[in-house]
Amino acid sequence: METEQFRQFGKTAIDIIADYYINIRERDVLPSVLPEDFIRLMPENAPESPEKWQELLEDFQKKVIPAITHWHSPQFHSYFPVGVSLASIVGSLLCSGLGIKGSTWISSPACTELEVVVVSWLAKMLGLPEYFQNTAAGPGGGVIQGSASESTLVCLLAAKHRMLREMKASNKEIDEDRIKTKFVIYTSDQSNSSVEKSGVLGSMITRLLKTDNNGQLRGETLKKAFENDKSKGLIPCYVVASYGTTGTCAFDPIDEIGPICREEGVWLHIDAAYAGTAFVCPEYRHLMKGIEYVDSFVFNPHKWMLVNYDCSVLYVKDCFDLIKTFDVKGDIDVNDEKETVFPQYRYWQIPCSRRFRALKLWIVLKIYGASGVRDLVRTQVNLANHFASLVRGDSRLVIEPEPSMTVVCFRLRKGDFLTEKLLEYLVNQKKIFMVAAIFRNHYVIRMVICSQFTTKDDVDRSWNTIQDGVNYVLSHSHRFNHRKSLLTNRRLSLDIERV
Amino acid sequence: METEQFRQFGKTAIDIIADYYINIRERDVLPSVLPEDFIRLMPENAPESPEKWQELLEDFQKKVIPAITHWHSPQFHSYFPVGVSLASIVGSLLCSGLGIKGSTWISSPACTELEVVVVSWLAKMLGLPEYFQNTAAGPGGGVIQGSASESTLVCLLAAKHRMLREMKASNKEIDEDRIKTKFVIYTSDQSNSSVEKSGVLGSMITRLLKTDNNGQLRGETLKKAFENDKSKGLIPCYVVASYGTTGTCAFDPIDEIGPICREEGVWLHIDAAYAGTAFVCPEYRHLMKGIEYVDSFVFNPHKWMLVNYDCSVLYVKDCFDLIKTFDVKGDIDVNDEKETVFPQYRYWQIPCSRRFRALKLWIVLKIYGASGVRDLVRTQVNLANHFASLVRGDSRLVIEPEPSMTVVCFRLRKGDFLTEKLLEYLVNQKKIFMVAAIFRNHYVIRMVICSQFTTKDDVDRSWNTIQDGVNYVLSHSHRFNHRKSLLTNRRLSLDIERV
């Protein structure tokens, strides 16, 4: 491809993206394709000869766009938001445009140093403990990972390694192989499924502890679990608490959990993937009471901070816990005080290489400013509250639990079965997309403000769509077969978030 | 950011990228910054208020660009190439522009289905066994991962899980915890460091086996290692062979290794991260003799196939080996014959979510065509051969081992010490960037054709730079202190690839 062609191709793509967002309300949030529809449109083999970029863009518009789900439609209320912003799109563009890879400092100095700068900025913006800032004294610091799943696994491996080192230091005779099989990870039954997955992948015994009526993991519960396991000869090693559970966005009380972990020398990790961004607003910081007890904290700017997927920021209290685990060959001097300022980030993570993700983060922070991020959080929480007030005005519905951040869960008073049918009906209509959760044994519909383009009018529109669904389901309730799904597409199976 | 601003910002960014490549030969390949130089240019805190995009781009040009290493300069001859192409840059742009996330099919049908299409195309383009094609009969298929490191770790975890299942099936009484500590991974002393890392992360005993004079892992060596370990009660579980080792691009003989693995029921994985792309040319396929024995194969289109980083394609013979490992909750029916056509890719990998990486792969394959990829491989191998012929014409230098693909290793006849000084001198001059390897106990300089923009003139220019360095070092040899590095920048430490 010649440079002049690239200029035309690239600029046309920019216009396509701009138009896509301008017109996003004209599309159904869910696509009208059936399984294999898209595959059937594609040839069986890669083209032998080059195609023109104009033809490619036509294919893109006619075949790809109709087969995607529109995550940034204001009627997308599923899962958690995935970050996108017009500035971040250009950030990603510049990153892929440079085409560099970071591993050592010399492989691209700015790739390492800009990351140090922006993760330190973020630690301050969120009001996290100073020891998490790379540029402060001490061995703590931040690093960009691909996902909270990865971050949780990285810390699990480090926690295991640290516990083993400590045990070996106090008793050189221990049977390392045997000890490793006794380590236990604890998390709540509301935590993200990635926590359970990391336990399995890291070969640790996994305990999903029961939460209280608010979906929180209480200190008392954790303490009992520790005691119970210790009495069996097992070893508490790693605790993953949540700031914003996946189902209902509950916050675990770290001021209760923290002291218990510290007493046992257990690594305490916080998964704040979605809700962490809210701490840019001081009014939410009371929710992180006890944060000084944690060993690591992860949040995803690619969720609620306008940064394009992927960009997950992990903070650790002591980076050498990571390095001692991932620097297999012992390249790094573990006494090097400069390690947090010139990190060899390849030893803070699973892969060897890294993209220049700091660039898009930097661009987003500059183009929106800290004030822009705070505005987004407050605006979206207000929109969620507006939606909650609409639901409260309808006596056929009940909100449960109380809304948290932009997550509002509700159900029909007439029972779980009809609530499930309501969600099936709505999803099948494709005008709105939500997923379910189970809360206190009830099936609830989870409505999340996701798109940053959402306005009050959009929320009203979503509410009207939901009300039409309620009317339909309540007036046809006698007709529903208990087994038969209202979904006409068999691959449209709905996720149910663990609560 | 308003849409009209985005159009201007994005189009200006496109022009910056276009100009960057047009002018890439005017810059030194390595930046002239010292550690902390870049950090000092940055404010201590994120901006409170939004900045203008024009100011941001000025910062980008004045501060970021001078602090990066130019991976696509034709004088960049380090490591392996990292893919970039003008078409792929637009591919990444469209991907981040849509801002979607794939996990289940409904989270974006095209995200799953286009991936199925392109990984099947690639399997055919490379001439891989039919059982690796998602669209063929059977449980085999391909999936895009973030890196070969991740792919190798994913297969290690799956190999461990499979072996454990098989042992439990034949003997329900086994002590699972004890058994797990006996599993061994084998690889050659020339494999990429990520293989060793995956062994450590996956808690497997790791054997780095000695290679022969050509840097290959021989069947005989592997067989003896198996026997030796089995006599100690250990259990061979996972073998990682290389198609293109990191140091000298050697190919392990799978027709020797394969039958030994099969006899023991050991998982055989091929790391073809860089060199895998070469199989698009039929004349290289003799190097994959024995491929029908492998359980999994990974290659990175983001290395030599014009696709922007990251995009690593992993093929497995049986996707249920992955699913049984990663589907912690057992969501997938392991008898579902459709799993390779509608994969729930979240259970084929470590993280839960996925980017729409298939899109850039699709765009690259359409814009360049299979013929374009073959042309690139052949052109670059010819350039490497041209360089080798220049080195052969200089009696002060020796090539060792024989060049493979685009990797040419050479050293000064006058000894390793001066070869090391030569590399230090060249890197310090910043006109050319190469790294070292150790081959048969000799320090060799590793020259790789990396940039897709490289022409014969560029190779001649690199050769002239090297000759100037040789002249300098040989005429100043008496002055060099054995200890003192010629590098003026202490963080400019040079990687030495394991060979």
**pLDDT tens digits for B347-379?**
999 998 999 999 999 999 999 999 999 999 999
pLDDT level of residue B161 (50, 70, 90 thresholds): very high
pLDDT confidence of residue B491: 65
Distance CA B156, CA B146 (A): 16
Q: Which of B69, B121, B351 sits opposite A108 (nearest CB)?
A: B69
A391 and A417 inside one domain: yes
pLDDT confidence of residue B493: 62
Last residue of a domain, one of A355, A384, A418: A355
B7 and B110 inside one domain: no
Asked, for residue A303, whether it belongs to a domain, the answer is yes
**A-chain residues within 8 Å CB-CB of B177?**
178, 181
Taking the Cβ of residue A40 and every Cβ of chain B, the question of whether any pair is shorter than 8 Å is answered with no
pLDDT confidence of residue A497: 62
Give me the count of residues in chain A.
499
A376 and A404 inside one domain: yes
A159 and A265 inside one domain: yes
Q: Kindly list the strands in the beta sheet with A435-439, ordered across the sheet, starting from the edge strand earlier in the chain.
A: A397-399, A407-412, A442-448, A435-439, A496-497
pLDDT confidence of residue B474: 96
Q: Are B67 and B38 in contact (CB under 8 A)?
A: yes
Taking the Cβ of residue A233 and every Cβ of chain B, the question of whether any pair is shorter than 8 Å is answered with no
Please name which of A426, A425, A419 lies closest in space to residue A442, comparing C-alpha atoms: A419
B178 and B56 inside one domain: no
A119 and A195 inside one domain: yes
Distance CA B70, CA B86 (A): 16
Taking the Cβ of residue B11 and every Cβ of chain A, the question of whether any pair is shorter than 8 Å is answered with yes
Looking at residues A219-227, what average pLDDT do you find? 98
**A-chain residues within 8 Å CB-CB of B1?**
85-87, 367-368
Interface test with A, best of B5, B12, B15, B17 (most A CBs within 10 A): B17
Asked, for residue A250, whether it belongs to a domain, the answer is yes
Q: What is the CATH number of the domain that holds A486?
A: 3.90.1150.10
B147 and B269 inside one domain: yes
CA distance A178 to chain B (A): 7
Distance CA B303, CA B413 (A): 32
Distance CA A434, CA A492 (A): 12
Looking at residues B34-52, what average pLDDT do you find? 96
Q: Which of B46, B197, B366 sits opposite A51 (nearest CB)?
A: B366
pLDDT level of residue A494 (50, 70, 90 thresholds): low
**B-chain residues within 8 Å CB-CB of A101?**
71, 79, 82, 309
pLDDT confidence of residue A491: 65
Give me the residues of B, 58-87, that contact A with CB < 8 A: 59-60, 63-64, 67-72, 78-79, 82-87
Whether residue A498 is predicted with pLDDT greater than 60 in this model: the reply is no
Q: Are A140 and A316 in contact (CB under 8 A)?
A: yes
> Of A147-151, A250-254, A478-482, which gets the smallest average pLDDT?
A478-482
Last residue of a domain, one of A355, A387, A419: A355
pLDDT confidence of residue B492: 66
What residue has token string 């493979």?
Answer: B404
Asked, for residue A89, whether it belongs to a domain, the answer is no
Half-sphere exposure of residue A440, counting CA atoms within 13 Å on the CB side? Answer: 12
Looking at residues A277-296, what average pLDDT do you find? 98
Residue B266 is encoded by which pair of tokens? Answer: 């050991």
The answer to whether B350 contacts A351, with C-beta atoms less than 8 Å apart, is: no
Asked, for residue B88, whether it belongs to a domain, the answer is no
pLDDT level of residue B484 (50, 70, 90 thresholds): confident
Cis peptide before A310 (omega within 30 of 0): yes
3-state secondary structure labels for all residues of A382-426: HHHHHHHHHHHCCCCEEECCCCECCEEEEEECCCHHHHHHHHHHH
Nearest CA in chain A to B9: A90
pLDDT confidence of residue A15: 98
Whether residue B281 is predicted with pLDDT greater than 80 in this model: the reply is yes
Looking at residues A5-18, what average pLDDT do you find? 98
B394-427: pLDDT as tens digits: 999 999 999 999 999 999 999 999 999 999 999 9
pLDDT confidence of residue A338: 82
The residue type at A47: P
Last residue of a domain, one of B300, B323, B355: B355
Whether residue A321 is predicted with pLDDT greater than 90 in this model: the reply is yes
B75 and B104 inside one domain: no
Q: What percent of chain A has pLDDT over 70?
A: 98
Q: What percent of chain B has pLDDT over 90?
A: 87
Asked, for residue B157, whether it belongs to a domain, the answer is yes
pLDDT level of residue B133 (50, 70, 90 thresholds): very high
Partners of residue B496 on adjacent β-strands: B436
pLDDT confidence of residue A331: 81
pLDDT level of residue B499 (50, 70, 90 thresholds): very low
Task: Cite the DSSP H helix spans in A288-329.
Answer: 301-304, 319-326
B35 and B156 inside one domain: no
- Using alpha carbons only, give the angle A413, A414, A419 rounded to the nearest 5 degrees: 85
| CA separation, residue A186 to residues A190, B326, B327, B351, B424 (Å) | 12, 19, 19, 19, 50
A30-87: pLDDT as tens digits: 999 999 999 999 999 999 999 999 999 999 999 999 999 999 999 999 999 999 999 9
* Contacts with B157 (C-beta within 8 Å, 6 or more apart), sequence order: A201, B202, B325, B326
CA distance B214 to chain A (A): 24
H/E element, A114:
helix A109-126
Asked, for residue B467, whether it belongs to a domain, the answer is no
pTM (2 d.p.)? 0.97
Asked, for residue B65, whether it belongs to a domain, the answer is yes
Looking at residues B284-304, what average pLDDT do you find? 98
**B-chain residues within 8 Å CB-CB of A84?**
96, 99
> Of A320-329, B56-65, B373-382, which gets the smallest average pLDDT?
A320-329
Q: What is the CATH number of the domain that holds A194?
A: 3.40.640.10
**B-chain residues within 8 Å CB-CB of A370?**
46-48
pLDDT level of residue A179 (50, 70, 90 thresholds): very high
CA distance B348 to chain A (A): 12
The secondary structure of residue B444, as a DSSP letter, is E
B164 and B31 inside one domain: no
Beta strands in A149-215 (DSSP E): 183-188, 205-209
What ipTM score was computed for the predicted complex, to two decimals? 0.96
pLDDT confidence of residue B393: 98
Looking at residues A443-468, what average pLDDT do you find? 97
Domain count, chain A: 2
The residue type at A205: I
DSSP string, B402-435: --BTTEEEEEETT-HHHHHHHHHHHHHHTS-B-E
The helix/strand count (H/E) of chain A reads as 15, 12
B322-331: pLDDT as tens digits: 999 999 888 8
Residue A296: which domain range? 100-355
pLDDT level of residue A499 (50, 70, 90 thresholds): very low
A398 and A250 inside one domain: no
Cis peptide before A333 (omega within 30 of 0): no
CA distance B386 to chain A (A): 25
B46 and B128 inside one domain: no
Q: Which of A49, A90, A106 sits opposite B491 (nearest CB)?
A: A106
Asked, for residue A346, whether it belongs to a domain, the answer is yes
